[in-house]
C-alpha cells in the first residue's frame, strides 16, 4: 500500500469493490478546491446493491452504506493508505475478515469495532437481507494527534504507532 500522503490537501480515500483490487478512481478529489466533499455512489454487484454516502475529509472519511444483498456476496474495502477503522453495524449483520486471512469476525447489529486496518483489504459478507453500517476511516497521524488531546485514545494510538 502507499505511504501516507504528503499532500496536505488530499482526501483520505477508501475504495469499495466486489474484487480485492482497487478500482480506478472516477475523480481526483482535492480539498483545496472544494473543502469537505460529500459524495453519493451506488455500487451494483450482480443482483446486489450497496448505496454509499461519503463524507471525505483530510484526516477522516466517513461512509454510510446501505446493503441490499440478494445472494451471498463479499464486498471489499481497499484503503489508498494506512488507516484506522471505526465500524458501526447499524442494522443487520455481517462477517468480516482481512482479505488475506481465514479468521472471520461476526459483526452483530448495533455492534461497534475500532481496529487498525493499516493498508490491508477488508472482506465483508453482509447478511442476505438489508443491512446498514457506518465506517469512519482515520489517518494514523490524526489518531495520534487526537490521543494527545483525549487520554482514552492514547493507548490505542500507541498500539497503532508500533
C-alpha cell, 151: 487520554
Mean pLDDT of 102-111: 91
pLDDT at 160 over 70: no
**Residue 148 DSSP one-character state:** H
pLDDT of the residue at 6: 42
The pLDDT assigned to 35 comes to: 65
CA distance 107 to 88: 9
26: Cβ contacts below 8 Å, ≥ 6 apart: none
Residue found by looking up cell 448495533 in the block? 110
pLDDT of 27 > 70? The answer is: no
**pLDDT tier, 133 (very low <50, low <70, confident <90, very high otherwise):** very high
CA distance 83 to 63: 14
Answer yes or no: is pLDDT of 5 > 50: no
| Single pTM value for the model | 0.81
Q: To the nearest whole percent, how much of the chain has pLDDT over 70? A: 83
Average pLDDT score over residue span 147-160: 72
What's the whole-number average pLDDT of the chain?
83
Amino acid at each position: 500500500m502507499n505511504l501516507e500522503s504528503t499532500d496536505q490537501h488530499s482526501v483520505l480515500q477508501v475504495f469499495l469493490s466486489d474484487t480485492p483490487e482497487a478500482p480506478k478512481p472516477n475523480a481526483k478529489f482535492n480539498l483545496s478546491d472544494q473543502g469537505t466533499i460529500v459524495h453519493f455512489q451506488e455500487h451494483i454487484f450482480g443482483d446486489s446493491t450497496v448505496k454509499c454516502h461519503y463524507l471525505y475529509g483530510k484526516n477522516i472519511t466517513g461512509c454510510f452504506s446501505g446493503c441490499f444483498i440478494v445472494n451471498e456476496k463479499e464486498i471489499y474495502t481497499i484503503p489508498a493508505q494506512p488507516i484506522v477503522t471505526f465500524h458501526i453495524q447499524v442494522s443487520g449483520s455481517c462477517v468480516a475478515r482481512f482479505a488475506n486471512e481465514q479468521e472471520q469476525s461476526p459483526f452483530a447489529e448495533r455492534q461497534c469495532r475500532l481496529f487498525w486496518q493499516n493498508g490491508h483489504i477488508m472482506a465483508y459478507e453482509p447478511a442476505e437481507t438489508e443491512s446498514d453500517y457506518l465506517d469512519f476511516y482515520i489517518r494514523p497521524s490524526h489518531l495520534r494527534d487526537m490521543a494527545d488531546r483525549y487520554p482514552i485514545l492514547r493507548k490505542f494510538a500507541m498500539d497503532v504507532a508500533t
